[in-house]
Amino acid sequence: MRRRRCPADGPRTMTPANRPPGLTGDLDVLAFAAAELAAGRPAALITIVSLDGPFSRPLGAQLAVAGDKRFAGSISGGCLEQALTEEAQIAMTAGENRVVRYGRGSPYLDVRLPCGGGIDLHIDAGVSLDILQAAIALGRERRSFALAFDPQSKRSSLRLLRESSEAKPGEFVRTFEPKLRLVLAGRGWEIVAMSQLAQTADVELIVASQEPATLDFCRPYADQLIALTVPAAPPELPLDADTAVACLFHEHEWEAPLLLDALRSPAFYVGALGSRQTHERRIDTLRALGAGADDIARLKGPIGLFASRDPRSLAVSALAEIVKLRIEGRGVQ
């Protein structure tokens, strides 16, 4: 049985020297590796390819490691990252891919998994910059794609697929879906609090408001700001199947046209702020504008998993409801 030692036998956690600034999303991990390769520096891409028992991260979770041991992504929440940076250095130096196992059935006695399971990780030490850049471009266009590779190959076999069904027998397939997009429309502290929380949750955020002050407050958190000018003429919003729309108006004459457009779009979630009595009046207004029974059935109101009058608590409640519905709709375990 082998024993894998970290430098100076220190704790296997992220340190200021190797911790990236802030949390990273799926595309950020690929972008980190691509940036290293584009600069002429080595990088490895690590993927969970097998799980034996419970674990804190899903199958396909990834970590990108640079030649100087900086990394982006999350494989375990801290108990494996340090050891994996060492394994990545070995793979990059040798120029060969490898699969390592930790936890149950592993030869590394000093790397224990608190959950008691086992995990196999593939280290790709020769990942292609062209493939990474093409994958990132698809992701930024909000298009689904997959990366496939043969875990048993010593050389990089990474392929970019438009559909996971294109994979060959024996390949591991890691699928990528568009990032959750959230459109917030309204004004006031509720929309500011939800904008702050959305940024933390790695959500693509669009804020639409009739109030310049609200737009200014949300500017640090939003990917796009839209000024609303006329209640009866809402702007055309980019609403796809990975978009949620939350109307947070106190002046409800602004919300009905926006809600009607959203309910007739592919957006997977449409909700609005207000009491149950306000929601009943909202439904009457939407019916008067031509909303049908199927449209009304899609509308969430009052928004959130639990009731709250505090802007921050309401933001947590509403975003939790949105994320819950998206996870359930995608069948994610």
Boundary residue ending a domain (132, 154, 176): 176
How many separate domains does the chain show?
2
Boundary residue ending a domain (176, 198, 213): 176
Answer yes or no: do 109 and 213 share one domain. Answer: no
Predicted pLDDT at 87 = 95
pLDDT in tens, 241-252: 999 999 999 888
Largest CA distance in the chain: 73
Within a domain: 2? no
On whether the CB atoms of residues 42 and 88 are closer than 8 A, the answer is no
Within a domain: 136? yes
Predicted pLDDT at 268 = 97
Answer yes or no: do 107 and 159 share one domain. Answer: yes
Within a domain: 29? yes
- Cβ neighbours of 283 (radius 10 Å): 15
The domain containing residue 167 runs over which residues?
7-176
Which pTM does this prediction carry?
A: 0.83
Predicted pLDDT at 109 = 67
258: phi then psi, degrees, rounded to nearest 5: -65, -45
Predicted pLDDT at 23 = 53
Closest CA to 291 of 251, 329, 256: 256
Within a domain: 221? yes
Q: Give the span between the Cα atoms of 330 and 319, in whole angstroms.
A: 17
Answer yes or no: do 17 and 144 share one domain. Answer: yes
pLDDT below 70 — which residues of the chain?
A: 1-23, 109-110, 114, 331-333
Boundary residue ending a domain (135, 159, 176): 176
